[in-house]
Amino acid sequence: MPTVEQILEGLHAIANQWRTLAILWHLYFAALALALVAGRLPSRGVTTGRGAWESPSTGCC
């Protein structure tokens, strides 16, 4: 069984490797939230894309 330090080092490495994707991910949802707050409903393509993006993130846990 890995030690706590090994687990944390692994998580740190993963977070650094996927930094660009994480930034894009958060920008996408921030833009979607701003559009909803501004009263603009997103198009069907945007909401369909959102569903496709959420599936991989929840499937890993």
What's the pLDDT tens digit per position in 18-53?
999 989 999 999 988 888 888 876 666 656 665 555
Tell me the pTM.
0.49
Backbone angles phi, psi at 38, to 5 degrees: -75, -10
Does residue 38 or residue 14 have the better pLDDT?
14
Quick check: 45 and 55 in contact, CB under 8 A? no
Q: What is residue 61's predicted lDDT score, i.e. its pLDDT?
A: 45
> DSSP secondary-structure letter at 2?
-
Integer CA distances (angstroms), 31 to 6, 26, 54, in order: 36, 9, 16
What is the structure's pLDDT at 40?
73
Measure the CA–CA gap between 48 and 28, rounded to whole angstroms: 13
Query: What is the pLDDT, as a whole number, of residue 11?
Result: 94
CB 32 within 8 A of CB 46: yes
